[in-house]
Amino acid sequence: MSKQCPIRRVLKRSGTVVVYDRKRISTAIYKATVSLGRGNRKLSEKLALEVEKALVNTYRGDMVPTVEDIQDVVERVLMEHRLTDLAKDYILYRHQRARERAARVYEFEVSDNVPYRKIYEVLRWNMNHRCDTVDGLNRIIRGGEFPDLVRATDRRYDEEVALAADLILRRLKDIKIAIVAGPSSSGKTTTMIKVSEKLKSAGVAFKAMNIDHYFFDLESHPKDEFGDYDYETPQALDLEMINDHLVQLLDGKEIETPDYNFKTGQRTLNVHPLKLNRNEILLIDSLHGLHEDMTCQVPAENKFKLYVETLGQFRARDGTFMRWADNRLLRRMNRDKHFRNLQPLQTLTHWHYVRHSELRNIIPFIKHADCIVNTALPYELPVFRHTLFRTISKGIHSYAEDPRRLDAHIRGNRVYELLKPLKALKDHSCIPGHSLLREFIGGSTYRY
């Protein structure tokens, strides 16, 4: 561990926490210098120290950087020192390691918290529909084929939802609760609505439970140095009350759920009556639906767990794949702007809370899911190019000189570079009201 460095831990891709060691950073940089034929230990150690300083300025207090966070900062430091060749080689080294991990565990359905077979299917679908690259998507728009892509994408998504509903029907004898879980802005609410439509058409009775009403009062959560609340953890919810209410519901008793006001950050107890009738199942959509503490008092055989994620396989101009979390960041920026009275840059600066919580409390539980649905929509990116690009452009410049906002600057710059060469779609009337994207851009036929 680096001497006198306040950073003590690092969050790995698997969700485990390990001891921070600056030597690992310098070693990775050194390997990049070696590949260029000019191995330089001294330079590598100097650059690693610069990376550490940037990390210290960004990840303060109890915040724990992830492996990807550190790698992002390494790339930034190399570019700031105008070591362009070294930065490119480090990026290639990083991508090669990612491919090796994928090849090493491909035979497993879910490993390293990544459903490799599933994303391979997504990549094949995108390639077959010529929407896996910026240039491909631009050609579709120029050729007037965008409405066709919307219809094909929605059909693919609806088929996956229908499969999930069919799996529930097969286990209907035992299932008492169907849970739709996934990270922020993955499309849980729309997916649950569509699953409920399938169940209803099959004659299955159900009721929905809104877990958001179980948030503790916002004032009970700690603030950071910017006055921002961290309400992304499972502990922000009254888990004890949730479990108590679930047990009572399954016993046939009536409960009264709380009511949470997002504008005031206040919870009122005993507001919404809820009771499960005989042969009814309970539907829940929640960030932390797969977290064991959420439903620990309900037997495993009585639960069906559906996991949704933006598993998009879309390549930027430089050939790198868009990160799933960046896809969801764009969705949340747009949704918060229109429906939650938050400016997109507020969402961007809060996003580090979202990512750190989901890497620790959501994504590691993907292996416990009964079914996975891909909610990424290739056609959503041109829409966000139109609605968010100018705001993102301003944001990355305003945060460039603030070391405390390094995380926001890196993320903002990454989505800026992704969206920049895309054609913006101003008229999205061809996107139907039942599209999942309407959850984030408005105009949905569903009530949220």
Looking at residue 5, its pLDDT comes to 81
**Contact 257/183 with Cβ under 8 angstroms?**
no
AA identity, residue 172: L
CA dist list (Å): 74 to 4, 21, 52, 305: 20, 14, 9, 37
Looking at residue 108, its pLDDT comes to 32
pLDDT in tens, the chain (448 residues): 445 688 888 877 656 778 889 999 999 888 888 877 878 899 989 999 998 888 888 876 667 788 888 888 888 888 888 888 888 777 776 766 665 554 443 333 444 556 778 888 899 899 999 999 999 999 999 999 999 999 999 999 999 999 999 999 999 999 999 999 999 999 999 999 999 999 999 999 999 999 999 999 988 876 666 667 767 788 889 999 999 999 999 999 999 999 999 888 899 999 999 999 988 999 999 999 999 899 999 999 999 999 999 999 999 998 889 999 999 999 999 999 888 878 899 999 989 888 988 888 898 888 889 999 999 999 999 999 999 999 999 888 888 888 888 889 999 999 999 999 999 999 999 999 999 999 999 999 999 8
AA identity, residue 134: V
Looking at residue 95, its pLDDT comes to 65
Please, which contacts does 332-338 make with residues 24 or more away whose CB atoms are closer than 8 Å?
Answer: 332/184, 332/185, 332/440, 333/388, 333/391, 334/384, 334/387, 334/388, 334/440, 334/441, 335/185, 335/439, 335/440, 335/441, 338/441, 338/442
CA distance 288 to 38: 48
Looking at residue 299, its pLDDT comes to 95
Spell out where 235-387 has E strands: 255-261, 266-274, 281-286, 303-309, 371-374
Looking at residue 36, its pLDDT comes to 76
Portions of the chain given CATH number 3.40.50.300: 116-441
* Topology of domain 116-441, CATH: Rossmann fold (3.40.50)
CA distance 437 to 331: 8
Quote the pTM value.
0.78
DSSP H/E element including 380: helix 380-398
Looking at residue 107, its pLDDT comes to 37
**Exposed e or buried b per residue across 226-262, where buried means at least 16 C-beta atoms within 10 angstroms of its C-beta:** eeebbbbbbebbbbebbbebbeebbeeeebebbebee
CA distance 246 to 255: 9
